[in-house]
Amino acid sequence: MTDGQASVGQVRDWLRDAQRITVLTGAGISTDSGIPDFRGPNGLWTRNPAAERMSNLQDYVADPEVRRRAWQARKTHPAWTAEPNDAHRALAALEKSGKLLAIVTQNIDGLHQRAGSSRDKVIEVHGTIWWVECLTCGVRTPMADELARVSDAEPDPACRQCGGILKSATISFGQRLDNDVLQAAAIAAETCDLFLAVGSSLTVRPAAGLCEVAVNAGARFVVINAEPTPYDEIAAAVLREPIGEILPALVSAASEG
């Protein structure tokens, strides 16, 4: 593992020479857009552990009060007003260079697509907050349509088709991930020659396990994150610089290659 300024120069060279780059992004890439992370020192769950219950499928299904709190939280979610930041735009630029294989994101905010990344390049392993899904019949509806229904009279809107429980189309703890999405993410990790983990605590599997998949397949692996991660020891480089500054600088170098 390398650290500090020397590794920045090395990573620039690796980006310039790489032909197939896969990027795993976590909450840390969106904090500059005003969306708080979950597990950092000032994270949502760090400051309010009770909020984690709204992301637990068993609690959500069993407790109407949890669902009511979840709908109120969705109404004020920062994703509705957030704008992509320089790091999101850097990855959109990386795609234009022809080097980007995929962005595998743990984020649900849709900021990669809004920054200009192609929808077919963004693999949302934890789903999206922009849609709602019925847990019974599976029908999907726009989040905006369901939020418009939320009121004192209807604090926990039910599915219009079957009366089932509605939830944001995100993956909660205890909920099965989409196998097709997981397979696409695994292929992106297996077939890249450079794997960047950006703004992720790398504590949630199976997304975090993609780091090992990439390394085992022969890719260089770089961590860009403010806090230590469980995978730092197998990384070829670890960069602690602010993501909104270092990622655009690195991508600029890659685009010159």
According to the model, what pLDDT value does residue 94 have? 95
Q: Which of 77, 88, 112, 126 is catalytic?
A: 126
Per-residue pLDDT of the chain (257 residues; tens, 9 = 90+): 344 444 788 899 999 999 999 999 999 999 999 998 655 555 554 456 667 778 899 999 999 999 999 999 999 999 999 999 999 999 999 999 999 999 999 999 999 999 999 999 999 999 999 999 999 999 999 999 999 999 988 999 999 999 999 999 999 988 999 999 999 999 999 999 999 999 999 998 899 999 999 999 999 999 999 999 999 999 999 999 999 999 999 998 766 65
Residues ≥6 apart with Cβ < 8 Å to 219: 22, 189, 192, 193, 194, 195
User: Which tokens belong to 118?
Assistant: 């192609």
Residue whose tokens read 């085992």: 216
* Type of residue found at 113: Q
Which residue spans of the chain are classified as CATH 3.30.1600.10?
A: 38-81+127-170
Active site residue 126: yes
Which residue spans of the chain are classified as CATH 3.40.50.1220?
A: 1-35+84-125+177-257
Are 27 and 200 within 8 A, CB to CB?
yes
Q: Is 238 helix (H, G, I), strand (E, B) or coil?
A: strand
> pTM value?
0.90
How many CB atoms neighbour CB 10 within 10 A? 15
User: Which tokens belong to 155?
Assistant: 């604090």
Tallying the residues shown for the chain, one arrives at: 257
In the chain, the N- to C-terminal Cα span, in Å, equals 25
- What is the Cα–Cα distance from 178 to 171, expressed in whole angstroms? 9
Q: What is the CATH number of domain 1-35+84-125+177-257?
A: 3.40.50.1220
According to the model, what pLDDT value does residue 205 have? 86
Report DSSP state, residue 121.
G
- What is the Cα–Cα distance from 108 to 128, expressed in whole angstroms? 4
According to the model, what pLDDT value does residue 49 have? 61
DSSP codes of every residue in 92-107: HHHHHTT-EEEEEE--
- What is the Cα–Cα distance from 141 to 133, expressed in whole angstroms? 7
**Domain 38-81+127-170 class, CATH top level:** alpha beta
Report DSSP state, residue 240.
-
- What is the Cα–Cα distance from 175 to 18, expressed in whole angstroms? 36
User: Which tokens belong to 145?
Assistant: 């349509």
CA-CA-CA-CA torsion sign (99, 243, 37, 227): positive
